[in-house]
């Protein structure tokens, strides 16, 4: 698109509107924003620094010979640039974020207030332990809650995301097998209904991954899994509730069979939001499970924001867990167990996963969330999350194909397919039209076992009114898709940019900005 003189892109009103295009390209409060390179010039700067007292440069051949080419902007220009860009984004504070598997829920402001207390926000990981007893106390108390809520034996607090927690659990399993002299067990069984990070983690940890099929009802095929157990199987990795939004009812029987065959059970606990306070994974025979603090226990995430994936461990695996960990001593003081050589009480640890102690800010937020809900409040979180998802499922199953609805209620996620859409229409058209309706799209084409999957997780923090509006929007869009409404193919129409070629953008990203050649110069 051509830039006009002032650097702005002209905009054309929606078809059918009799408004003239605006000079600026802005559409009222929807402000166009050019790249920072297009609005800033290299000879401007927001700061004025006194010229340095000249001294001989010691850079030698490394001294820069050409300008660096960074755009310069004044402070107000900089603030406006980034504020304008931020307004083109979607956020949980703007509206419902139905991304299945991500648990995008409200982040209570109280969490933020606590995390910003200087005693937590300003501590340094290398401070002497005596000066950070409060912060260590938070880690220790949160660890107790996680152990209590899951019915497990121990917890590794340092993993920094869900997938990192998976790695922690699998490294514990590897260390336990080696200690038993059974390091030859290399196969990890992963059901089709597991999250994609599971096979990736198993492979990364040096195991060989084998798929276990799902039943038509969307759950693990227990018989197929049992039949595959044997002396080469190290572990199974099961997501529960699984990515079809269903509870794996046979998990206890599966764990018993896996243990009898000498293997371990890893449970992907990212969906703990649906069962917290209702089910203790330890009672299901699980050996290791990560918890996404940034999902179940709120705390902001997305856009690469911080995560935290503490991994709870069974009695069998706890001795192999990573350092460091906290321990409350008899005198009430909290010790940080950091050194592999510190004593003989943890000789089997597989080592360390992070430089320091984990995501302190996330610990503070998660503990605040837990304490402000209390045990009964946490149970209600799970109940309301499941209720909301079932409300979405039952409200839309007459319009959208719901492949597992026959099997009974779902957990915290409702799943639909693109079955019944006319030729040429798919889930992406529905998702893009939802943007025009003011919603972030749902998770698309995942899980893979459902054709054109739409995975919707409303979470417990949405009101019935908000759900009704979303359901109304999705119903309207789905009906347009089923009627073959061609305008869906180019949606979104009201977003700052219309349908993009996402494949091209992902495969051939343009990461370098080049100054456009001005036509008059090019002609010279
Ligand atoms: C989010 C998620 C993960 C990965 O967690 P990250 O924190 O993104 O690494 C793993 N499994 C399931 C089921 C998830 O929903």
Query: What is the per-residue pLDDT across 96-136, written as a single tens digit (0 to 9) for each?
Result: 999 999 999 999 999 999 999 999 999 999 999 999 999 99
CA atoms within 13 A on the CB side of 2: 4
Percentage of residues in the chain having pLDDT higher than 70: 94
**Mean pLDDT along residues 204-230:** 95
Report the C-alpha gap between 373 and 378 in whole angstroms.
6
Segment 117-124 long-range contacts (CB within 8 Å, at least 24 positions apart)? 117/364, 120/360, 120/361, 120/364, 121/361, 123/360
DSSP string covering 433-499? HHHHTT----EES-STTSTT-EEE---TT--HHHHHHHHHHHHHHHHHHHTT-GGGGG--SSSSS--
DSSP H or E run through 394? helix 360-396
Nearest residue by C-alpha to atom 8 in ligand 1: 162
**pLDDT, averaged across the chain:** 91
Q: Characterize the bridge pairing of strands 414-416 and 454-456.
A: antiparallel
Q: What is the pLDDT of residue 146?
A: 98
Q: What is the pLDDT of residue 6?
A: 43
Q: What is the pLDDT of residue 24?
A: 87
Contacts for 200 with CB less than 8 Å, ≥ 6 apart: 163
Q: How far is CA 13 from CA 19, 487, 493, in A?
A: 6, 16, 10
Residue from 248, 268, 296, 385 to probe ligand 1 pocket by mutation (most atoms less than 8 Å from CB): 268
pLDDT in tens, 247-276: 999 999 999 999 999 999 999 999 999 999
pLDDT in tens, 366-392: 999 999 999 999 999 999 999 999 999
Whether residue 417 is predicted with pLDDT greater than 50 in this model: the reply is yes
Q: What is the pLDDT of residue 344?
A: 59
**Mean pLDDT along residues 207-223:** 94
**Mean pLDDT along residues 207-232:** 95
Which is the closest atom of ligand 1 to the Cα of 166? Answer: 10
**Mean pLDDT along residues 405-415:** 93
Which is the closest atom of ligand 1 to the Cα of 164? Answer: 9
Whether residue 10 is predicted with pLDDT greater than 60 in this model: the reply is no
Structure tokens at 303: 């856009």
Residue from 97, 100, 101 to probe ligand 1 pocket by mutation (most atoms less than 8 Å from CB): 101
Structure tokens at 61: 């051949």
Q: What is the pLDDT of residue 1?
A: 37
> What pTM did the predictor assign?
0.90
pLDDT band at 343 (very low <50, low <70, confident <90, very high): low
Which of 336, 334, 342 is closest to 357 using CA atoms? 336
Structure tokens at 512: 């370098």
Q: How far is CA 166 from CA 195, 329, 513, in A?
A: 11, 29, 38
- CB 75 within 8 Å of CB 46: yes
pLDDT in tens, 471-516: 999 999 999 999 999 999 999 999 988 999 989 999 999 888 887 7
Nearest residue by C-alpha to atom 2 in ligand 1: 270
pLDDT band at 13 (very low <50, low <70, confident <90, very high): low
- CB 129 within 8 Å of CB 136: yes
Contacts for 489 with CB less than 8 Å, ≥ 6 apart: 424, 425, 429, 499
Whether residue 11 is predicted with pLDDT greater than 90 in this model: the reply is no
Nearest residue by C-alpha to atom 7 in ligand 1: 162
**Mean pLDDT along residues 456-476:** 97
Residue from 158, 163, 307 to probe ligand 1 pocket by mutation (most atoms less than 8 Å from CB): 163
pLDDT band at 12 (very low <50, low <70, confident <90, very high): low
Residue with tokens 């610990």: 363
Asked which of 22-31, 208-217, 235-244, 487-496 is least confident by mean pLDDT, the reply is 22-31
Residues 225-234 as b or e (16 or more Cβ within 10 Å = b): bbebbeeebb
CA atoms within 13 A on the CB side of 182: 17
Q: What is the pLDDT of residue 47?
A: 78
Structure tokens at 383: 């109940």
- CB 360 within 8 Å of CB 132: no
pLDDT in tens, 74-96: 889 999 999 999 988 898 999 99
pLDDT in tens, 42-75: 877 777 788 888 788 889 999 888 888 888 898 8
Measured over all CA atoms, what is the biggest interatomic distance in the chain, rounded to whole angstroms?
84
Nearest residue by C-alpha to atom 15 in ligand 1: 101
Nearest residue by C-alpha to atom 5 in ligand 1: 162
Q: Which residue has the higher pLDDT, 340 or 225?
A: 225
- Per DSSP, the three-state class of 236 is strand
Whether residue 278 is predicted with pLDDT greater than 50 in this model: the reply is yes
- CB 295 within 8 Å of CB 459: no
Structure tokens at 30: 């929807």
Q: How far is CA 388 from CA 18, 99, 104, 397, in A?
A: 42, 14, 14, 14
Report the C-alpha gap between 347 and 336 in whole angstroms.
16
pLDDT in tens, 310-321: 999 999 999 999
CA of 424 to the centre of ligand 1 (A): 32
The pocket around ligand 1, CB under 6 angstroms, is made up of 101, 161-163, 195, 197, 239, 243, 268, 270-271, 292, 307, 309
Nearest residue by C-alpha to atom 6 in ligand 1: 162
Q: What is the pLDDT of residue 2?
A: 39
Whether residue 236 is predicted with pLDDT greater than 90 in this model: the reply is yes
């Amino acid at each position: 698109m051509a830039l006009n003189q002032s650097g702005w892109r002209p905009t054309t009103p929606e078809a059918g509107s009799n408004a003239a295009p605006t000079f600026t390209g802005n559409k009222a409060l929807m402000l166009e924003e050019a790249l920072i390179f297009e609005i800033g010039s290299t000879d401007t700067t927001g700061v004025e620094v006194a010229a340095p007292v000249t001294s001989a440069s010691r850079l030698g051949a490394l001294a820069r010979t050409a300008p660096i080419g960074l755009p310069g902007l004044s402070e107000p220009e900089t603030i406006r640039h980034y504020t304008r860009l931020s307004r083109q984004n979607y956020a949980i504070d703007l509206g419902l974020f139905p991304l299945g598997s991500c648990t995008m829920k409200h982040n209570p402001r109280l969490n933020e207030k606590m995390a910003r207390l200087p005693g937590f926000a300003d501590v340094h990981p290398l401070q002497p332990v005596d000066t950070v007893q409060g912060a260590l106390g938070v880690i220790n108390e949160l660890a107790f809650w996680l152990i209590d809520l899951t019915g497990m034996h121990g917890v590794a607090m340092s993993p920094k995301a869900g997938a990192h927690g998976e790695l922690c659990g699998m490294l514990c399993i590897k260390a336990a097998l080696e200690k038993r002299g059974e390091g030859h067990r290399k196969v990890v069984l992963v059901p089709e209904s597991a999250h994609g990070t599971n096979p990736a983690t198993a492979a990364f940890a040096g195991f060989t991954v084998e798929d276990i099929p799902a039943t038509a009802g969307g759950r693990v095929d227990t018989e197929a899994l049992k039949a595959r157990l044997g002396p080469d199987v190290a572990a199974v990795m099961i997501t529960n509730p699984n990515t079809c939004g269903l509870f794996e009812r046979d998990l206890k029987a599966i764990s018993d069979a896996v243990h009898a065959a000498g293997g371990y059970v890893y449970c992907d606990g990212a969906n703990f939001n649906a069962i917290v306070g209702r089910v203790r994974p330890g009672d299901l025979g699980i050996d290791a499970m990560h918890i996404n603090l940034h999902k179940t226990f709120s705390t902001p995430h997305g856009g690469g924001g911080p995560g935290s994936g503490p991994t709870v461990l069974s009695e069998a695996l706890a001795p192999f867990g990573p350092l460091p960990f906290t321990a409350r001593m008899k005198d009430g003081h909290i010790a940080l167990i950091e050194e592999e050589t510190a004593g003989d009480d943890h000789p089997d640890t597989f080592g360390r996963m992070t430089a320091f102690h984990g995501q302190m800010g996330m610990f503070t937020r998660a503990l605040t969330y837990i304490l402000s809900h209390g045990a009964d409040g946490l149970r209600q979180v799970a109940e309301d999350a499941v209720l909301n998802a079932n409300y979405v499922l039952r409200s839309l199953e007459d319009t959208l194909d719901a492949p597992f609805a026959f099997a009974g209620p779902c957990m915290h996620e409702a799943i639909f397919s693109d079955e019944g859409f006319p030729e040429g229409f798919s889930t992406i058209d529905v998702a893009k039209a939802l943007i025009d309706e003011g919603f972030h799209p749902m998770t698309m084409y995942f899980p893979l076992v459902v054709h054109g999957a739409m995975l919707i997780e409303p979470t417990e923090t949405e009101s019935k009114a908000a759900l009704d509006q979303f359901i109304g929007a999705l119903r309207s869009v789905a009906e347009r898709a089923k009627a073959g409404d061609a305008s869906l193919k180019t949606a979104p129409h009201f977003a700052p940019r219309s349908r993009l070629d996402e494949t091209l953008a992902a495969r051939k990203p343009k990461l370098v900005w080049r100054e456009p050649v001005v036509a008059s110069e090019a002609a010279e």
